[in-house]
Amino acid sequence: MSEARGATVPLSLRLVASVKPAKVFHEYVQQDKQVTSADYDDRGELCVTASDDETIQLYNCRTGKYVHRAANNRHARTLYSKKYGVHLARFTHRASAIVYASTKEDDTIRYHSLHDNKYLQYFRGHKRRVISLEMSPVDDTFLSGAVDDAVRLWDLRSPSAQGNLHVQGHPVVAYDPSGAVFAVALNERAAVLLYDLRKFDQSPFLTCKIDDTDALSKVSMPPRIPVLTHLSFNNSGELILAGTSGDVHYIIDSFSGNLAWRLVGHVGLERAPGHSIGMIPQAGISGEELSWTPDGRMVIAGTYSSALTIASATGQLCVWHIPEKPPSAPVTLKPSAMLNGHEGVARVVAFNPRCAQLATAGAQLALWLPDPEAMQD
């Protein structure tokens, strides 16, 4: 659902397909640098980005009553993390504070006050680069996954990990909407593992295998297995989006553990030039370029069109409308809509949790709003 003019508007495919860049911020990313993550606060009023120019940018995304008045979107603040670098900036449940991963010096996670630009806590324990970081939807705990083959559970109030899970592979983590279940994607096992948070150090209660060899063998032989780089539940917790750096994303039925849909029709960002952020090399710049819509019925993802550089590449967005009932066997879905107008690769995609606003980023940040006529349908 979307707020508009004080009312609630359903997020129809027509509305989402009508969004266009309404405000573009070019000036806050250094030349030849890229935004690597973006996140909205709980109220959908602020957007925070992290860039490989070692800056944290804060944007005020309020647009009146969320109607098409993009001039009110404005840049709010620039913060620097020159010594440690910054990636995976995530809002806590306070819009004045974030957590983020380091990219150099050490592998510490930092709890940072945006209000007075001070560190509130340091979370030490990972021995290699943190590649996945997610706040709990219900409290002040968060999960981190690193290429030291470890998943850790943290509490903002304590510098020590509340749990440490050793896995065989580079983990990508996600909470379900209740905060009681978390998932870990392991590329090396082509699987998503579901855990009970109360039994953090015990075995998963469900293992979801992503066996796509039949379909992939029609593309190449032997089949080339894409790298899992993204993991997220939809708003009901019934579906899990497992994104890859290749030309296919997957949606899993979280109750049965079965593969439900294959999302195709895009070009994976592993083909885009640029280095990975802590992932194994084949992951390219993938991981942040796809998102559920807040109603959990659509997936939006960036796609890459070959060019000499990331900045000059033409980027589009694919929108897949997900059927209500999971099929008994995997079904391949092609995009229901393609969104144009983005300059460069959309390597970061985030949908505002409170209104019909989309943020995409790469060489700049773009805020997308729907056509006013679509809002009135």
**Using one digit for the tens of pLDDT, what is the confidence trace for 308-349?**
344 444 568 999 999 999 999 999 999 999 998 777 889 999
45 CB neighbour count, 10 Å cutoff: 15
Name the residue with higher pLDDT: 342 or 352.
Answer: 352
CB neighbours of 281 closer than 8 A, spacing ≥ 6?
Answer: none
User: Which of 5-19, 54-68, 88-102, 107-121 bottoms out in mean pLDDT, i.e. has the lowest?
Assistant: 54-68
What value does the mean pLDDT take over residues 19-29?
85
Q: How far apart are CA 183 and CA 175, in angstroms?
A: 6
The predicted-structure confidence for 229-259, as pLDDT tens digits, reads as follows: 999 999 999 999 999 999 999 999 999 999 9
Q: Cα dihedral angle (159, 160, 165, 166), rounded to 10 degrees?
A: 100
Residue 372: the pLDDT is: 79
CB distance 230 to 265 below 8 Å: no
pLDDT of residue 216: 85
Reference 130, options 116, 145, 110; nearest CA is 145
Q: What is the pLDDT of residues 179-221, one digit of tens each?
A: 999 999 998 888 999 999 999 989 999 999 998 888 888 877 7
pLDDT band per the 50, 70, 90 thresholds, residue 10: confident
pTM of the entire predicted model: 0.90
Domain boundaries, the chain: 2-45+130-376
Number of residues assigned to the chain: 377
Please give the backbone phi and psi of residue 46, each rounded to the nearest 5 degrees, phi first. Answer: -125, 150
Question: What's the pLDDT band for 272 if we cut at 50, 70, 90?
Answer: low
Compute φ and ψ for 77, nearest 5 degrees. -165, 150
Q: Which CATH class is domain 2-45+130-376?
A: mainly beta
For residue 65, the 8-state DSSP code is T
CA angle 45, 354, 132 (to 5 degrees): 80
Residues 6 or more apart whose Cβ sits within 8 Å of residue 239: 233, 251, 252, 253, 254, 260, 296, 322, 326
- In the block, residue with structure tokens 């359903």: 10
Q: How far apart are the first and last CA of the chain?
A: 13
Is residue 172 within 8 Å of residue 181, measured between CB atoms?
no
pLDDT at residue 152 tops 90 = yes
- Rounded to 5 degrees, what angle do the CA atoms 206, 212, 216 make? 160
Q: Could you tell me what percent of the chain has a pLDDT over 90?
A: 58
